[in-house]
Amino acid sequence: MKLRSRDVPVPLKRVVHAGTRTFGRLTSNRRVLPGFLVSGGQRCGTTSMYRALAQHPAILKPIFHKGIHFFDTDYHRGLAWYRAHFAARSTADRIAEHSGVTPLAFESSPYYLYHPLAAERIARDLPDARLLVLVRDPVERARSQHAHERARGFESIADFSDALAAEPERLAGENDRLIAEPEYYSFSHQHHAYLDRGHYADHLDRVSAAVGADRIMVIDSGRFFTEPEVVFDRVLRFLGLPQLGDIAFARHNARPRPPHRDDALDRELSDHYAPHDARLERWLGAEPSWRT
């Protein structure tokens, strides 16, 4: 009988992962670093993009899990620890020999777009890596994040409007402290920034100042979900990879809308985001799908 990952007890998984990471650190000088990263607003389809990318024969996903969070919350662990999460160079060499294509490793951590130090760390440690950034309707994104954090037990405020009202106090001074104290961790900055996460253009401008706008591709999740083949072909061209094999597209981690919505609040939020969405057009090359 084949043992599935979900059937393995959590303590045993932790032991196995810890041992594998130790081996990975010992062999880190023989492992590849990512050629690109997937980031974006939380609840913007990064998991769906990750699953599609991982099917490409010349793309190497991380060994343990999709999001490593090195450049935001675990940077103090060092580059050898980060390398331990990726494939060996010998694996990449075999793929290159078989396919004639130099493979690219990658990982997906949405918080990279938002953490104030992540971009400069990426620019320093991965000077040639590209970034795929996914965005979606910021009103729907904020609601989805709140439902997600509630489901995970990370949010104690049940009402979405109350959580929005609490956001300024929760985030007060946190961004500055993260910059001043590089090893500081802010739970609210990572999990309770519902409104601010949707200011996509602000975060993209900051990240591009560090890594360069030419290394960033912004993807409208609405278009990715409705035209996955078209969007994915654009992604491959951006990464310099050919089409190899068939890709099965699916939507992952979707949560149903709450049964009761505050339409007045949604209109207020939509008006709030209007100027931010207008600035996003230059990144998308078109009007955001949620505005058409």
Instruction: Find the mean pLDDT for residues 55-64.
Output: 94
Closest to 202 measured CA to CA, from 5, 41, 63: 41
DSSP, res 4: P
| DSSP tally for the chain: helices H, then strands E | 13, 5
Q: Does residue 19 lie in a domain region?
A: no
Is the pLDDT assigned to residue 156 strictly greater than 80? yes
Q: Does residue 245 lie in a domain region?
A: yes
Q: Which pLDDT score, from 0 to 100, does residue 246 have?
A: 85
Q: Does residue 258 lie in a domain region?
A: no
Instruction: Provide the CATH number for the domain around residue 61.
Output: 3.40.50.300
Total number of domains in the chain: 1
Q: Which residues of 3-25 are buried (b: 16+ CB within 10 A; e: fewer)?
A: eeeeeeeeeeeeeeeeeebeebb
| More confident: 270 or 13 | 270
Q: Does residue 12 lie in a domain region?
A: no
Q: Does residue 16 lie in a domain region?
A: no
Q: Which residue has the tokens 């940077």?
A: 75
> What is the span of the domain harbouring residue 212?
31-253+263-291
Instruction: Find the mean pLDDT for residues 29-45.
Output: 90
Q: In sequence order, which residues have a C-beta less than 8 Å from that of residue 29 and are 6 or more positions away? A: 80, 83
Strand 34-40, strand 59-60: pairing: unpaired
Is the pLDDT assigned to residue 257 strictly greater than 90? no
Q: How far is CA 1 from CA 7, 12, 31, in A?
A: 12, 19, 32
pLDDT tier at 1 (50, 70, 90 boundaries)? very low
